[in-house]
Amino acid sequence: MLIAAGLAASALALTALNARDPMQIAQATQPTQSTPGAETKPSAPSEPATTGQRPSDIPPQPARPDADAQKAGAQPALPPAPAEKVAPPIREK
């Protein structure tokens, strides 16, 4: 019954659209217009002059220095991670 009502409403809407003049259907938004003076303005900034390579004068350093470096006085870049928390196993009921 619900499907028949939906089909009837669709058929009525289609016949109403077909009965109207096709040029009478309104456009939802106005067509876009160019900004005045857009021809004289640059469209986008030029690309920056980069080489695309990493700087080679500073080598990357590890976050945690090895044991020998720590003995020599090197400090870790990151604080130590917190200890893992382990809960007791869940008991079966």
At 83, list the tokens.
């200890």
Q: Give the CA radius of gyration of the chain.
A: 36
Helix H or strand E encompassing 70 = helix 67-71
Going from the C-alpha of 68 to that of each of 42, 65, 71, 75, 76, the distances in angstroms are 57, 8, 5, 12, 12
pTM of the shown model? 0.25
Q: What is the pLDDT of residue 2?
A: 92
Q: What is the pLDDT of residue 31?
A: 67
| Grouped pLDDT means (10 residues each) for the chain, 93 residues | 94 83 66 69 69 71 77 81 83 83
